[in-house]
A and B are shown apart, each in its own frame.
Chain A
Amino acid sequence: MEEKILDLLADICDDDIVKEDKTIDMVEEELLDSLGYTELLAELEEMFGIVLSPSAVSKNDVATPEKVIALVQSKMK
């Protein structure tokens, strides 16, 4: 699962740095903009069959690869 998420992030951010540094702040580093953020939520929903409403999940909640992985794990329990 982690690998799938990291591949998705690398694709959306267009940078492999997200695979190397899981604590990188993708919003701060301008890897993840508003378009990328909505795309990310939609892709995660489809990939894992979970519900991630943009009004419940802020950009900050998915700012680092670590946070994204933890979020998906919590939703899949």
Chain B
Amino acid sequence: MILLERIADHYNDIADQTAVDSVSDGVVSYGELWEKSGKLANYIEEKMGADKSPIVVYGHKQPYMIIYFLACVRSGRAYCPEDISVPDDRVRSIIERTGCGMILTAEKEHDVLSGAAAEVIDIDKAEEIEAVQPEMITEDKAVSGSDTFYIIFTSGSTGTPKGVQISADDLDSFTSWSIHLGYGPEDKEGAVFMNQAPFSFDLSVMDLYTSLASGGTLKTIDRKTQDDMSALMKTFGESHLNYWISTPSFATMCCGMPEFCEDHMPDMRAFLFCGEALTNTTARRLREKFPKAKIVNTYGPTEATCAVTSAEITDEMINSDEPLPVGVPGPNTRINIRGLDGREMPEGERGEIIISGKNVSTGYFRDEAQTDKVFFDDGMRHYHSGDEGFIKEGQLHFTERMDFQIKYHGYRIELGDIENNLLKEPGIDAAAVVPRMREGAVKNLVAFIAGMGDPKDPFGEGKKIKDALREKLPDYMIPKKIVFLDKMPVTPNGKADRKALKGMVR
């Protein structure tokens, strides 16, 4: 696998360079990264033997997370990253579904893992193993070709997450393209990449593997720092960031800070965005604050390895009335726009975005029915994205989802997932969640529920419902507001009338 060969090269050439640097959990060099992961991989292989099940890796922004990821794939097993922000119920259900016999964790507190029928290895144990393992694993054991490299679980409309499997070939195809984003690969050697997204969110694939492929340093920003604007600005000022990879909402938030500018962060070369719509307003503010840095918009679903198209945003695009394009595909990918009848749409007309080529996932983990609905193989793999868009002057434009899936702060959410969990609460007979939009991006979520009448204290009741949801769903899926209705407005065929509800969202 090209990516692993490149990391092995860094081990030989730049062993002392920092590979991953965190705010408060230390650093690892390329030398340590390769040696520790190679020795751990040997242990995994010895212990697991014929059991090739994926391995769940649980933690946050610790450099050890990356050692674990590489240990899994070098032992020939996929990893499944779970961040501490994933609610315990979801973590447990994913552990169960993967059938993993081993869990690696970078967290000191990991009660959530205690009930699992798997060996749990924490950092202390991993260091013991590394101390006694004489050798790194041989390279022939590593995942390659169509073997799964990672599995990322995304929101599913029925309330059960779907596991997207990304193979070694998929990821090689992605990184061979992503190292050219902004500037060429030579510029990225030794560069500092910012990691904002949790590793359970595949936006992190763009910063992590572009950085590792190019011999850069990944600077991980933990949740605590992200929640404290002055600590965040201090970290930015000290980190010499060159490449910024985040959701547009995170950059929008930072734009409110006066320190977030070229004077304070003079090393910024490029901003790479993915995960949701980049608005003209945010791009304009960034251009004002960082006149020298490039702004690159990208687009892609988890099912096609993070991102497949890119556009360098020009002043002309920013100042036009049109929303920003998401760009052109890389050399390994093809984009087609299909109408409802399956025929290719002419330039400028809207239809479903079909992604074809080497980035496309091999399918959902142990879910043939869901896989067969959206993946097609005729010698080349195709993914029916469910995203609506059009191509104009060669550039792809994303317009909206064709179903009830939305992007909120870059996270992919099936509204049905929230609705089904609301319906499990006593007293709720009907539930519909509607996004409140601003400039083509989701500002927040509003839940409409019926069956509880007109409570005296709607704010307090709403809070109780939100607290109940929080037990089952990640924070970003909790509606900001709960609206109590006497009766859910319905369409003639009996479904919640989302148009009417959207009208009630101011």
Q: Are B256 and A39 in contact (CB under 8 A)?
A: yes
- Pair B436/A14 contact, Cβ less than 8 Å: yes
Known: A38-B229, A55-B233. A15 touches B256 (CB 8 A): no
Are A38's CB and B259's CB within 8 A? no
Determine chain B's interface SS by DSSP, over half rule: mixed
Q: Count of chain A residues with Cβ under 8 Å from any Cβ of B?
A: 17
Question: How far, in Å, is B139 (CB) from chain A's closest CB?
Answer: 44
Please give me the residue from chain B that is nearest to A51 by CB atom.
B258
Instruction: Check B287 for interface membership: any CB of A closer than 8 A.
Output: no
Q: Is the CB of A55 within 8 A of B230?
A: yes
Known: A14-B436, A34-B229, A38-B229. A54 touches B444 (CB 8 A): no
Which residues of chain A are near B249, meaning CB under 8 Å? 35
B-facing residues in A12-37 (Cβ within 8 Å): 14-15, 17, 29-31, 34-35, 37
Q: Given the complex, which residues of B lie within 8 Å of A42, measured CB to CB?
A: 256
Say yes or no for B253: interface residue by CB 8 A criterion.
yes
State the CA gap A53–B446 with chains docked (Å).
31
Select one of B227, B252, B258, B481 contacting A14, CB under 8 A.
B481
A39 to chain B, nearest CB (A): 6
* A41 part of interface (Cβ distance < 8 Å): yes
Instruction: Say if the beta carbon of B257 comes within 8 Å of chain A.
Output: yes
In the complex, what residue of chain A is closest to B466 when comparing beta carbons?
Answer: A30
A34 — which chain B residues lie within 8 A by C-beta? 226-227, 229, 253
- Contact between A53 and B253, CB atoms less than 8 A apart: no
Within 8 A of A (CB), among B434-486: 436, 443-444, 446, 459, 463, 466, 480-481
A24–B46 CA distance with the chains assembled, in angstroms: 58
Return chain B residues, CB-CB under 8 Å to A31: 480
Contacts of A38 in B (CB 8 A): 229, 253, 255-257
Query: How many residues does chain B have at the interface if contact means C-beta atoms less than 8 Å apart?
Result: 22
Query: With A38-B256, A38-B257, A39-B256 known to touch, is A54 a contact of B229 (CB < 8 Å)?
Result: yes
A38 to B: closest C-beta gap in Å: 2
Contact, CB under 8 Å: A54 / B459: no
Cβ–Cβ contact B253 & A55, under 8 A: no
Closest to A24 in B: B459
Bound state CA distance, A41 and B481, in angstroms?
Answer: 23
Q: Which residues of B contact A39 (CB under 8 A)?
A: 256
B505 to chain A, nearest CB (A): 9
Q: Which residue of A lies closest to B252 (CB)?
A: A35
Contact with A along B223-234 (1 / 0, CB 8 A): 000110110010
Do A41 and B256 touch across chains, with their CB atoms under 8 A apart? Answer: yes
Tell me the complex Cα distance, A42–B255, Å: 10
Known: A14-B436, A14-B480, A55-B233. Is A29-B259 also a contact (CB below 8 A)?
no
Residues of A within 8 A of B230 (CB): 54-55
**Contact indicator per residue, chain B 360-397, by CB within 8 Å of chain A (1) or not (0):** 00000000000000000000000000000000000000
Known contacts: A15-B481, A34-B229, A38-B229. The answer to whether A54 contacts B258 by CB under 8 A is: yes
215-242 of chain B: CB within 8 A of chain A: 226-227, 229-230, 233
Residues on the B chain within 8 Å of A55, using CB: 230, 233, 258-259
Cβ–Cβ contact A35 & B480, under 8 A: no
Q: Which A25-77 residues sit within 8 Å CB-CB of chain B?
A: 29-31, 34-35, 37-39, 41-42, 53-55, 59
A34 to B255, CA, bound (A): 12
The one of B257, B436, B481 that contacts A54, using a Cβ cutoff of 8 Å: B257
Q: Nearest A residue to B480 by beta-carbon distance? A: A14
Task: Report chain A residues within 8 Å CB of B229.
Answer: 34, 37-38, 54, 59
With CB as the reference atom, state the residue of chain B lying closest to A56: B230
In the bound complex, CA of A34 to CA of B259 (Å): 16
Q: How far is the CA of A55 from the CA of B234 in the complex (A)?
A: 11
Residues of A in contact with B (beta carbons under 8 Å apart):
14-15, 17, 29-31, 34-35, 37-39, 41-42, 53-55, 59
Interface of B toward A, CB cutoff 8 Å: 226-227, 229-230, 233, 249, 252-253, 255-259, 436, 443-444, 446, 459, 463, 466, 480-481
Sample (30) of A-B pairs whose CB atoms are under 8 Å apart: A14-B443, A14-B444, A14-B446, A15-B459, A15-B481, A17-B459, A29-B463, A30-B466, A31-B480, A34-B226, A34-B227, A34-B229, A34-B253, A35-B249, A35-B252, A35-B256, A37-B256, A38-B229, A38-B253, A38-B255, A38-B257, A41-B256, A42-B256, A53-B258, A54-B256, A54-B257, A54-B258, A55-B233, A55-B258, A55-B259
